[in-house]
Structure 1
Amino acid sequence: MIYCTVHALGELAVAFPVAGAFSSYITRFLDPSWGFAVGSLYALNWLCTLPLELVAASITIRYWQSTVNPAAFVCLFYALVLFLNLCGVRGYGESEFIFSSIKVIAVIGFIFLGIILNCGGGPQGGYIGGKFWHTPGAFAHGFKGVCSVFVTAAFSFTGTEMAGLAAAETENPRKSLPSAIKQVFWRITLFYIVCLTLIGLLVGYDDPRLIGSSDVDATASPFVIAIKNGGIKGLPSVMNAVIMIAVVSVGNSAMYGSSRTLAALANQGMLPKQVGYLDRSGRPLVAIGIGAVFGLLCFVSASDKEAEVFSWLMGLAGLAATFTWMSICLCHLRFRQALRYNNRSTDELPFKSQATVWGSAWGVIMNLVTLIAQFWVALFPLGSKPLPATFFKGYIALPIVLALYVGHKIYKKNWILYVKLEDIDIDSGRRDLDLEVLKQEIAEEACYISSRPWWYRWYRYWC
């Protein structure tokens, strides 16, 4: 589903590198009210993610220092994220490159280490193999147990669509975005799937040190637990530091994503125009200021209600991503319909989704399945009776997006359910306005790639 979604977004973002990316596409190809609702929910998602990740970063500090008030470290991380975003897209990009490099090196190292530990090569010794697959077992609580973590999983995958947001600020999106879009999927798939498979083999789901147990501390990271179980000294601290960098990185992305989405909504006339103010360097200062104000929620770390706030924020963020991904896939389907309606060919597209329209249809279906499954789990939670508070904690995004949608319909008095094919604009926002020249350049590039060795063609297709 993620593969289909990022390729659908890639096709749209390369063709229309406009500010706000998918929030603009939803307004153009689906419905302005739905564009406002999903765009606002997406911005709210990142606004809530920022304090959530800053608090998570402060929690990792407790691994080394548990006596200092966590609010002190939260303040430090808050200032760092704000500074990086005030440096503009270059500051964001350079910092994310450094953060990502550290994460990639650590993850690759953990993959090799995890295999060695599973085979009994650690100081503690002892072959593990599929021990935890059988005891305490895999897929705790069956199908319902799997459904119960959909929101957390969606929250973890949030950010795969960030490449589309950067399209408007990219010097040459036709050259850089296709590679970025393809590699986002492979990086996430390889690192997430391989790492989580190894984690499942090395740590049982009933480990008392995991989050959700009665003894929650900074060792709650399964990566740290896996290394400690292997008897390796010193390395758990290194992995904990990497985790801290990772969550600060997500906080940095949260500030960037929320500010750009808010500015795009303002430019579309959906928020006060002051929110869309850009300085000479292209920084949306007012939107960054709004993100900074929301970020102050991070000081909830000094409260005993920290865990409760965490649950509400994560419930909102996870479902917000699902609504966004489903809308991106719908936009791609409508865009292709509009092309056919206007007798236009896909030959004019600098980048075409490898998943095609069938992939986007699959993306819509899978996101709907996720929403239905989450509704079931929120209404009938595992191990407890149905309660209104529990339901809204897991499904709070739905009433918010519906309220935004209906509110916009009433305010704008726009009772049209969707944009008709004949009214869809398939040209505004393009950087290559001469389509014949564009088609020729695309054909020449395809001819050049076909003349190269098989390994180069294979690499260009997948990466």
Structure 2
Amino acid sequence: MSKSHSLHSFHSHHDYPEEFSSPSHLTSNSQSYYNSSTNYPSGEPWYSVERDPHPSLSQRFVDSFKRDPNRRTINPALNSTYHHGALDPHMAVIATANTALARKLKGRHLQMIAIGGSVGAGLFVTSGRMLHEGGPASVLIAFSLIGGMLFCTVHALGEMAVLYPVAGSFSAYSTRFLDPAWGFAMGWAYATQWLIVLPLEIVAASVTVGYWNTTLSRSIFVTIFLVLIISINLFGVKGYGEAEFLFSLVKIVAVIGFTILGIIINCAGNPNGGYIGGKFWVEPGPFNNSFKGLCSVLITASFAFAGTELIGLASAETANPRKSLPTAIKQVFWRITLFYVVSLTVVGLLVAHDDDRLFNESSANANGSASPFVIAIEDAGIAVLPSVMNAVILIAILSVGNSAVFGSTRTLAALADQGHAPKILGYVDRKGRPIVAIALASTVGFIAYSVESGQQGTVLNWMLSFSGLSSIFTWGSICLAHIRFRRAWALQGHSLNELAFVSQPGLVGSWVGFIFNVLVLVAQFWTGAWPINYGEIGVKGQMKSFFLAYLTAPVVLIMYGGYKYRYKTKVWRARDMDLQTGRREVNLDKLLKAEREEREEWPRWKRWYGLVC
């Protein structure tokens, strides 16, 4: 292959058809590249502008699913990520920067989206299993460590997302700052995770309804919940944002209410006794299953936090990411950490880790009866609140299912834009919806009907094993991409003063986050190959446990190696990285200077508040 067709060439010497060549030789970094219309040789624009001035309601509905020709501003003849059979990563960068997704999300939506994606069954139900396996002290240590790691990761993501609010976010950053092959592997692992989470959450929701009614067929509720989630996402990103805002508001109120109630119960006691205090930390004790119990809880806690990174994925659909993202990034971490750490501290004081109700096989798929929150309220003898708490659990599960459609469809559309997935998945209609990707996610959701087979746990567990570690790979990739981005930023003569948002833990935080994710992978290998009860389950049981826990790793490595072999991709060199394409602000330097001067006039309390919130 000649040098002019090099995989990592950023120059304008690609052999495009002459009739589509720009006479002014604009590059993707030229402002007029995106602002100017592109014409065919006949002089006519490549899009049609003829529209019926008074279409009927049914016609408007049908037309909403058609592609909006005016939403993308680059010539579609150039919108190809492959030339001469080789991947052109520069065109992949342009495609994600030139997303057709609608930009309708506000700051309040962003703050709730991260909460909605991560505060679900992991907090309300799976925490019971964690308490059973590791004890209350292990739960607090694990969530504190994962919370600290995510502080570093989310800030690294925020720094890049504010500067480059592009489609695909972290999967696009892997393609852009690491290796296109890794962007392919990590992007598909992340999309698969959320595709599988949708039927998993719908099954969990249908099982949760069994707390009130065990006679009706669960398929009825599967249908209701599936239609509800699909309908919300058909309203576009604004509908998704409003739904998550309401869902998350319910969860926030519930967690705060439970925390206050839990403190009262702990101090006042329950009908079976007086003051509880810390007696469950004395007997049966703060830990269970020693260090392996702590490692097991650490891994489960990392899965419980999955979805926090959705805020980066939403940046491409945010009206003003430079204003909205920094506030959301800083506030979301504190909210999630406080919700998990404070509420689970209260739970650990009210429920003993050897309580048989915490983990039983019949309720492993998120039955509210296994929730330590419900158990704590039941033990207090409060008649109505257990049902109320179970309703909150149901809303939380549906919220995560809603986030699953958003996360999977946006990642699939971005993968298609980069040439990493079938092009049809990148189809975006006039409402800014990746409608084909939504159809695919909805189709996968029908797997939830396996709930009637009696083997839904087995089916979904094996499906989840294909993507169980994808969040760890995603977070590690974000940290590593930030490290490489900072290297290129400095090497190409830029300073941190040019960034609209700077990660508070900086490069040190990204290294801490990356190393911690590697350690979680090591811990997962150990607890998967030698689980807590490995002496009882035998060799066959150990092999099953290992593949359920670690199947994602070989799948991701095979995708990475296969793609790298097929397209001969290379790891980016810092001096060759494109640091311009995708930057939405035109006069950013002047804007930042004016804002810094304004902040200098703030009182001290306001400057401190702006630092942490």
Q: TM-score, normalised by structure 2?
A: 0.73
8 Å contact 1:153–1:318 — kept in the other structure? no
2:519 is aligned to 369
CA shift for structure 1 position 218: 3.8
* 3-state DSSP of counterpart to 2:503: coil
Deviates more, 1:374-383 or 1:242-251: 374-383
CA distance in 2, matches of 1:215, 1:47: 23
Of the candidates 558, 561, 565, which is equivalent to residue 406 of structure 1?
561
Q: 1:92 to 1:162 in 2, by over 3 A?
A: same
CA distance in 2, matches of 1:160, 1:296: 26
2:543 is aligned to 388
Of the candidates 417, 425, 433, which is equivalent to residue 275 of structure 1?
425
* Deviation sequence 1:342-366 (CA, Å, 0-9, x none): 1111111111101101000000010
8 Å contact 1:227–1:236 — kept in the other structure? yes
* 3-state DSSP of counterpart to 1:119: helix
* 3-state DSSP of counterpart to 2:358: coil
Of the candidates 13, 18, 32, which is equivalent to residue 161 of structure 2?
13
8 Å contact 1:26–1:34 — kept in the other structure? yes
- For residue 426 of structure 1, what is the amino acid of its counterpart? L
* Deviation sequence 1:347-403 (CA, Å, 0-9, x none): 111111011010000000100000001001111111124432211101111011011
* Deviation sequence 1:107-127 (CA, Å, 0-9, x none): 100110111111125555521
8 Å contact 2:468–2:549 — kept in the other structure? no
Q: Does 1:348 align with 2:498?
A: yes
CA shift for structure 1 position 245: 0.2
8 Å contact 1:260–1:284 — kept in the other structure? yes
Structure 1 segments unaligned to the other structure (5+ residues): none
8 Å contact 1:151–1:318 — kept in the other structure? no
2:81 is aligned to none
CA shift for structure 1 position 214: 6.5
- For residue 381 of structure 2, what is the amino acid of its counterpart? G
- For residue 391 of structure 1, what is the amino acid of its counterpart? F
8 Å contact 2:368–2:393 — kept in the other structure? no
Of the candidates 481, 488, 498, which is equivalent to residue 331 of structure 1?
481
* 3-state DSSP of counterpart to 1:204: coil
2:596 is aligned to 446
CA shift for structure 1 position 170: 0.8
- For residue 185 of structure 2, what is the amino acid of its counterpart? A
2:392 is aligned to 242
8 Å contact 1:5–1:360 — kept in the other structure? yes
Identity of aligned residues (%): 54
Of the candidates 425, 445, 460, which is equivalent to residue 578 of structure 2?
425
Q: 1:241 to 1:317 in 2, by over 3 A?
A: farther
Task: Pick 1 or 2: higher relative contact order, CA cutoff 8 A, min separation 6.
Answer: 1
- For residue 563 of structure 2, what is the amino acid of its counterpart? H
Higher normalized helix content (fraction of residues): 1
CA shift for structure 1 position 207: 1.6
2:237 is aligned to 89
* Deviation sequence 1:129-178 (CA, Å, 0-9, x none): 11222222223101111212334222210111111111111111001111
Structure 2 segments unaligned to the other structure (5+ residues): 1-148
CA shift for structure 1 position 315: 4.1
Q: 1:421 to 1:376 in 2, by over 3 A?
A: same
CA distance in 1, matches of 2:196, 2:297: 19
* 3-state DSSP of counterpart to 1:195: helix
Q: 1:214 to 1:264 in 2, by over 3 A?
A: closer
1:303 is aligned to 453
8 Å contact 2:269–2:276 — kept in the other structure? no
CA distance in 1, matches of 2:355, 2:164: 48
- For residue 80 of structure 1, what is the amino acid of its counterpart? L
CA distance in 1, matches of 2:220, 2:361: 26
CA distance in 2, matches of 1:442, 1:121: 55
1:200 is aligned to 348
CA distance in 1, matches of 2:467, 2:281: 30
Q: 1:318 to 1:451 in 2, by over 3 A?
A: farther
CA shift for structure 1 position 443: 2.2
* 3-state DSSP of counterpart to 2:212: coil
- Aligned residues between the structures: 458
* Deviation sequence 1:428-454 (CA, Å, 0-9, x none): 100124xxx322211221222231222
- For residue 449 of structure 2, what is the amino acid of its counterpart? F
8 Å contact 1:22–1:164 — kept in the other structure? yes
Q: 1:364 to 1:48 in 2, by over 3 A?
A: same
Q: 1:28 to 1:214 in 2, by over 3 A?
A: closer
CA distance in 2, matches of 1:201, 1:187: 21
* Deviation sequence 1:386-427 (CA, Å, 0-9, x none): 43221110111101101111121122233x2x1111211111
CA distance in 1, matches of 2:298, 2:200: 18
Q: Does 1:107 align with 2:250?
A: no
CA distance in 2, matches of 1:79, 1:173: 31
Of the candidates 176, 190, 194, which is equivalent to residue 324 of structure 2?
176
1:460 is aligned to 610
Deviates more, 1:138-147 or 1:323-332: 138-147
CA shift for structure 1 position 314: 4.5
8 Å contact 1:152–1:318 — kept in the other structure? no
Q: Does 1:251 align with 2:401?
A: yes
1:64 is aligned to 212
CA shift for structure 1 position 28: 0.4
CA shift for structure 1 position 201: 1.3
CA shift for structure 1 position 249: 0.2
8 Å contact 2:468–2:550 — kept in the other structure? no
CA distance in 2, matches of 1:258, 1:156: 18
CA distance in 2, matches of 1:273, 1:281: 19
Deviates more, 1:216-225 or 1:366-375: 216-225
Q: TM-score, normalised by structure 1?
A: 0.96
CA distance in 2, matches of 1:173, 1:233: 46
Superposed, which structure 2 residues align to 1:282-321 within 5 Å? 282-321=432-471
- For residue 146 of structure 1, what is the amino acid of its counterpart? L
- For residue 226 of structure 2, what is the amino acid of its counterpart? Y
8 Å contact 2:363–2:370 — kept in the other structure? no
8 Å contact 2:206–2:221 — kept in the other structure? yes
* 3-state DSSP of counterpart to 1:264: helix
CA shift for structure 1 position 285: 0.5
2:80 is aligned to none
CA distance in 2, matches of 1:128, 1:165: 44
Deviates more, 1:96-105 or 1:449-458: 449-458
Q: 1:201 to 1:316 in 2, by over 3 A?
A: farther
CA distance in 1, matches of 2:210, 2:604: 51
2:302 is aligned to 154
